[in-house]
Amino acid sequence: MNAPVAAPHLPLRVRAAMLLRLFAIQGVWNYETMVGNGIAFALEPALRRLPGGHTGDRFRAAMARHSGYFNAHPYLASVAVGALARAELDGVPDAQIERFRVAAPGPLGSVGDRLVWAGWVPFSSAVALLAFGLGMSPAGVVLVFLGTYNVLHLGLRIWGLHAGWTRGLGVASALANPVLRQGPAHVARATALIAGVALPVAADGIIGSGRAVLGGVLAAVAAGAVMVTLLHGRIEGWRVATFALAAFVLYAMVR
Protein backbone atom coordinates (compact mmCIF):
# COMPACT_ATOMS: atom_id res chain seq x y z
CA MET A 1 0.00 0.00 0.00
CA ASN A 2 1.46 3.37 -1.00
CA ALA A 3 2.14 6.12 1.55
CA PRO A 4 -0.90 8.36 2.08
CA VAL A 5 -1.06 11.58 0.09
CA ALA A 6 -3.23 14.61 0.76
CA ALA A 7 -6.88 13.87 0.13
CA PRO A 8 -8.45 15.74 -2.80
CA HIS A 9 -11.31 18.12 -2.16
CA LEU A 10 -14.72 16.54 -1.68
CA PRO A 11 -17.53 19.10 -1.35
CA LEU A 12 -19.29 19.25 1.99
CA ARG A 13 -22.68 18.51 0.42
CA VAL A 14 -21.28 15.27 -1.05
CA ARG A 15 -19.85 14.23 2.31
CA ALA A 16 -23.13 15.12 4.02
CA ALA A 17 -25.09 13.08 1.48
CA MET A 18 -22.79 10.09 2.03
CA LEU A 19 -23.10 10.44 5.80
CA LEU A 20 -26.89 10.60 5.66
CA ARG A 21 -27.04 7.57 3.37
CA LEU A 22 -24.85 5.62 5.80
CA PHE A 23 -27.80 5.60 8.20
CA ALA A 24 -29.69 3.48 5.66
CA ILE A 25 -26.80 1.11 5.00
CA GLN A 26 -28.76 -1.89 6.30
CA GLY A 27 -31.93 -0.93 4.47
CA VAL A 28 -31.70 -3.80 1.99
CA TRP A 29 -29.62 -6.16 4.12
CA ASN A 30 -29.83 -9.77 2.96
CA TYR A 31 -27.85 -13.01 3.32
CA GLU A 32 -26.50 -12.82 -0.23
CA THR A 33 -24.95 -9.35 -0.31
CA MET A 34 -25.22 -8.35 3.38
CA VAL A 35 -24.68 -4.55 3.37
CA GLY A 36 -23.32 -4.50 -0.19
CA ASN A 37 -26.24 -2.56 -1.63
CA GLY A 38 -26.02 -0.11 1.25
CA ILE A 39 -22.32 0.45 0.56
CA ALA A 40 -23.08 1.28 -3.08
CA PHE A 41 -25.95 3.56 -2.01
CA ALA A 42 -23.69 5.48 0.39
CA LEU A 43 -20.90 5.71 -2.21
CA GLU A 44 -23.14 6.91 -5.00
CA PRO A 45 -22.86 10.68 -4.33
CA ALA A 46 -19.06 10.43 -4.59
CA LEU A 47 -19.12 8.09 -7.59
CA ARG A 48 -21.14 10.67 -9.54
CA ARG A 49 -17.89 12.66 -9.67
CA LEU A 50 -16.12 9.98 -11.70
CA PRO A 51 -15.21 10.94 -15.27
CA GLY A 52 -18.36 10.66 -17.39
CA GLY A 53 -20.66 11.46 -14.48
CA HIS A 54 -23.54 9.31 -13.38
CA THR A 55 -24.22 8.05 -16.90
CA GLY A 56 -20.62 7.08 -17.60
CA ASP A 57 -19.14 3.60 -17.84
CA ARG A 58 -16.88 4.07 -14.82
CA PHE A 59 -19.84 5.05 -12.65
CA ARG A 60 -21.81 1.99 -13.75
CA ALA A 61 -18.86 -0.35 -13.26
CA ALA A 62 -18.17 1.07 -9.79
CA MET A 63 -21.82 0.83 -8.72
CA ALA A 64 -21.96 -2.79 -9.90
CA ARG A 65 -18.72 -3.60 -8.08
CA HIS A 66 -19.83 -2.08 -4.79
CA SER A 67 -23.29 -3.61 -4.83
CA GLY A 68 -21.74 -7.04 -4.36
CA TYR A 69 -21.21 -8.94 -1.14
CA PHE A 70 -19.86 -6.82 1.71
CA ASN A 71 -20.25 -7.69 5.36
CA ALA A 72 -19.05 -5.24 7.99
CA HIS A 73 -20.22 -3.59 11.16
CA PRO A 74 -22.84 -1.02 10.08
CA TYR A 75 -21.19 1.88 11.90
CA LEU A 76 -17.61 1.11 10.89
CA ALA A 77 -18.70 0.47 7.32
CA SER A 78 -18.29 4.24 7.09
CA VAL A 79 -14.52 3.66 7.12
CA ALA A 80 -14.84 1.43 4.07
CA VAL A 81 -17.18 3.86 2.31
CA GLY A 82 -14.71 6.71 2.77
CA ALA A 83 -11.76 4.60 1.67
CA LEU A 84 -13.54 3.17 -1.37
CA ALA A 85 -14.76 6.60 -2.47
CA ARG A 86 -11.22 7.90 -2.30
CA ALA A 87 -9.85 4.88 -4.17
CA GLU A 88 -12.43 5.16 -6.94
CA LEU A 89 -11.89 8.91 -7.44
CA ASP A 90 -8.11 8.44 -7.31
CA GLY A 91 -8.35 5.86 -10.10
CA VAL A 92 -6.89 3.00 -8.06
CA PRO A 93 -6.80 -0.20 -10.18
CA ASP A 94 -9.92 -2.35 -9.96
CA ALA A 95 -8.00 -5.39 -8.74
CA GLN A 96 -6.61 -3.46 -5.76
CA ILE A 97 -10.05 -2.12 -4.87
CA GLU A 98 -11.48 -5.62 -5.09
CA ARG A 99 -8.76 -6.93 -2.81
CA PHE A 100 -9.59 -4.22 -0.27
CA ARG A 101 -13.29 -5.12 -0.48
CA VAL A 102 -12.35 -8.68 0.46
CA ALA A 103 -9.92 -7.78 3.24
CA ALA A 104 -11.62 -4.83 4.97
CA PRO A 105 -15.00 -6.21 6.12
CA GLY A 106 -13.65 -8.73 8.63
CA PRO A 107 -11.43 -6.37 10.64
CA LEU A 108 -14.10 -3.63 10.52
CA GLY A 109 -16.66 -6.13 11.79
CA SER A 110 -14.34 -7.36 14.51
CA VAL A 111 -13.51 -3.88 15.78
CA GLY A 112 -17.16 -2.80 15.67
CA ASP A 113 -18.45 -5.90 17.40
CA ARG A 114 -15.99 -5.59 20.26
CA LEU A 115 -16.43 -1.88 20.74
CA VAL A 116 -20.17 -1.43 20.12
CA TRP A 117 -22.09 -4.67 20.66
CA ALA A 118 -19.87 -6.18 23.36
CA GLY A 119 -18.78 -2.89 24.91
CA TRP A 120 -20.89 0.20 24.39
CA VAL A 121 -24.37 -1.37 24.48
CA PRO A 122 -23.85 -2.89 27.95
CA PHE A 123 -22.15 0.36 29.07
CA SER A 124 -25.07 2.49 27.89
CA SER A 125 -27.49 0.11 29.59
CA ALA A 126 -25.58 0.34 32.87
CA VAL A 127 -25.53 4.15 32.71
CA ALA A 128 -29.29 4.19 32.09
CA LEU A 129 -29.84 1.80 34.97
CA LEU A 130 -27.83 4.04 37.24
CA ALA A 131 -29.93 7.02 36.14
CA PHE A 132 -33.05 5.04 37.01
CA GLY A 133 -31.63 4.09 40.38
CA LEU A 134 -30.88 7.70 41.12
CA GLY A 135 -34.54 8.54 40.63
CA MET A 136 -34.71 9.81 37.06
CA SER A 137 -38.09 9.66 35.30
CA PRO A 138 -38.73 6.84 32.79
CA ALA A 139 -38.48 9.24 29.86
CA GLY A 140 -35.26 10.60 31.30
CA VAL A 141 -33.82 7.09 31.60
CA VAL A 142 -34.62 6.38 27.96
CA LEU A 143 -33.03 9.68 26.92
CA VAL A 144 -29.91 8.93 28.97
CA PHE A 145 -29.60 5.55 27.24
CA LEU A 146 -30.15 6.96 23.77
CA GLY A 147 -27.85 9.91 24.41
CA THR A 148 -25.02 7.77 25.76
CA TYR A 149 -25.37 5.18 23.00
CA ASN A 150 -25.49 7.70 20.19
CA VAL A 151 -22.42 9.63 21.30
CA LEU A 152 -20.31 6.70 20.13
CA HIS A 153 -22.66 5.64 17.34
CA LEU A 154 -22.69 9.03 15.62
CA GLY A 155 -19.04 9.65 16.43
CA LEU A 156 -17.99 6.41 14.76
CA ARG A 157 -19.96 7.12 11.59
CA ILE A 158 -18.56 10.66 11.23
CA TRP A 159 -15.00 9.72 12.18
CA GLY A 160 -15.07 6.62 9.99
CA LEU A 161 -16.11 8.45 6.85
CA HIS A 162 -13.45 11.11 7.42
CA ALA A 163 -10.71 8.58 8.25
CA GLY A 164 -11.55 6.46 5.23
CA TRP A 165 -11.58 9.40 2.84
CA THR A 166 -8.36 10.87 4.28
CA ARG A 167 -6.35 7.64 4.21
CA GLY A 168 -7.88 5.75 1.31
CA LEU A 169 -6.97 2.08 1.07
CA GLY A 170 -4.22 2.65 3.67
CA VAL A 171 -6.90 3.06 6.32
CA ALA A 172 -5.53 0.21 8.47
CA SER A 173 -3.44 2.78 10.33
CA ALA A 174 -6.63 4.56 11.39
CA LEU A 175 -7.85 1.37 13.04
CA ALA A 176 -4.85 1.61 15.36
CA ASN A 177 -6.68 4.49 17.06
CA PRO A 178 -6.49 3.87 20.85
CA VAL A 179 -10.27 4.21 21.13
CA LEU A 180 -10.66 1.22 18.85
CA ARG A 181 -7.70 -0.84 20.13
CA GLN A 182 -7.79 -0.29 23.89
CA GLY A 183 -11.31 1.17 24.13
CA PRO A 184 -13.20 -2.13 24.56
CA ALA A 185 -11.11 -3.13 27.59
CA HIS A 186 -11.61 0.25 29.28
CA VAL A 187 -15.32 0.26 28.45
CA ALA A 188 -15.69 -3.23 29.95
CA ARG A 189 -14.08 -2.09 33.21
CA ALA A 190 -16.23 1.04 33.31
CA THR A 191 -19.35 -1.05 32.66
CA ALA A 192 -18.50 -3.39 35.53
CA LEU A 193 -17.96 -0.43 37.85
CA ILE A 194 -21.16 1.37 36.88
CA ALA A 195 -23.24 -1.81 36.92
CA GLY A 196 -21.85 -2.64 40.33
CA VAL A 197 -23.11 0.70 41.62
CA ALA A 198 -26.31 0.80 39.59
CA LEU A 199 -27.70 -2.66 40.37
CA PRO A 200 -28.09 -2.24 44.15
CA VAL A 201 -29.20 1.38 43.75
CA ALA A 202 -31.84 0.39 41.17
CA ALA A 203 -32.94 -2.63 43.21
CA ASP A 204 -33.42 -0.39 46.20
CA GLY A 205 -35.47 1.94 44.02
CA ILE A 206 -37.77 -0.91 42.95
CA ILE A 207 -38.12 -2.62 46.32
CA GLY A 208 -38.70 0.67 48.09
CA SER A 209 -38.77 1.45 51.76
CA GLY A 210 -41.76 -0.81 52.46
CA ARG A 211 -40.01 -3.87 50.97
CA ALA A 212 -43.38 -4.77 49.43
CA VAL A 213 -41.90 -6.64 46.46
CA LEU A 214 -38.90 -8.12 48.25
CA GLY A 215 -40.23 -11.64 47.71
CA GLY A 216 -40.66 -11.04 44.01
CA VAL A 217 -37.15 -9.67 43.69
CA LEU A 218 -35.67 -12.64 45.52
CA ALA A 219 -37.65 -15.03 43.29
CA ALA A 220 -36.42 -13.20 40.19
CA VAL A 221 -32.83 -13.44 41.43
CA ALA A 222 -33.22 -17.18 42.02
CA ALA A 223 -34.81 -17.69 38.60
CA GLY A 224 -32.03 -15.65 37.02
CA ALA A 225 -29.38 -17.76 38.75
CA VAL A 226 -30.96 -20.96 37.46
CA MET A 227 -31.21 -19.51 33.95
CA VAL A 228 -27.57 -18.41 33.93
CA THR A 229 -26.50 -21.86 35.13
CA LEU A 230 -28.54 -23.62 32.46
CA LEU A 231 -27.31 -21.30 29.71
CA HIS A 232 -23.67 -21.41 30.79
CA GLY A 233 -21.47 -22.02 27.78
CA ARG A 234 -24.40 -21.74 25.39
CA ILE A 235 -24.94 -18.00 25.33
CA GLU A 236 -22.61 -15.06 25.72
CA GLY A 237 -22.73 -13.37 29.11
CA TRP A 238 -23.09 -9.87 27.72
CA ARG A 239 -26.30 -10.87 25.94
CA VAL A 240 -27.78 -12.20 29.17
CA ALA A 241 -26.69 -9.08 31.06
CA THR A 242 -28.07 -6.71 28.45
CA PHE A 243 -31.39 -8.56 28.32
CA ALA A 244 -31.66 -8.58 32.11
CA LEU A 245 -30.88 -4.88 32.36
CA ALA A 246 -33.40 -4.03 29.65
CA ALA A 247 -36.08 -6.16 31.33
CA PHE A 248 -35.29 -4.49 34.62
CA VAL A 249 -35.77 -0.99 33.25
CA LEU A 250 -38.91 -1.91 31.28
CA TYR A 251 -40.47 -3.45 34.35
CA ALA A 252 -39.73 -0.34 36.34
CA MET A 253 -41.28 1.85 33.66
CA VAL A 254 -44.56 -0.07 33.25
CA ARG A 255 -45.24 -1.09 36.85
Partner 1 sequence: MTLEIFRIDDRLVHGQVVVGWGQPCSLGFLVLVDDEVARSEWEKELYRMGVPPEMEIVFDSVESAVARLAGYRADARAGMLLTGDIDTMARLVAAAPDIRTVTVGGVHHKPGRVPRSRYVFLTPAEEARLLELAAGGVTVVAQDVPQAAATPLEVMLRGEGPT
Report how many residues bind partner 1 under the rule CB under 8 A. 39
Least distance between partner 1 and beta carbon 128 (Å): 22
Least distance between partner 1 and beta carbon 71 (Å): 6
Q: Does 3 bind partner 1 (CB under 8 A)?
A: no
List the one residue from 54, 181, 186, 189 that touches partner 1 (CB under 8 A). Answer: 181
Q: Does 105 bind partner 1 (CB under 8 A)?
A: yes
Distance between CA atoms of residues 79 and 100, nearest Å: 12
Site for partner 1 in 107-136 (CB under 8 A): 107-114, 117-118
- Give 89 or 180: the residue with its C-beta nearer to partner 1: 180
- Give 26 or 71: the residue with its C-beta nearer to partner 1: 71
* CA torsion through residues 14, 17, 18, 19, sign: positive
Return the exposure string of 228-248: e unless at least 16 CB atoms fall within 10 Å of the residue's CB, then b. eeeeeeeeeebeebbebbeeb
List the one residue from 4, 23, 33, 134 that touches partner 1 (CB under 8 A). Answer: 33
How many other C-beta atoms can be found within 10 angstroms of the C-beta atom of residue 209? 6
- 133: enclosing H helix or E strand: helix 121-133
Residue 34, strand partner residues: 30, 70
Contacts for 252 with CB less than 8 Å, ≥ 6 apart: 132, 138, 202, 205, 206
Distance between CA atoms of residues 109 and 97, nearest Å: 18
Distance between CA atoms of residues 232 and 227, nearest Å: 8
List the one residue from 106, 138, 196, 200 that touches partner 1 (CB under 8 A). Answer: 106
Stretch of residues binding partner 1 (CB under 8 A), selected from 52-60, 106-114, 124-132, 151-159: 106-114
Site for partner 1 in 222-241 (CB under 8 A): 233-236
Binding site for partner 1 (CB under 8 A): 1, 31-34, 69, 71, 73, 99, 102-114, 117-118, 169-170, 172-173, 175-176, 180-182, 184-185, 233-236
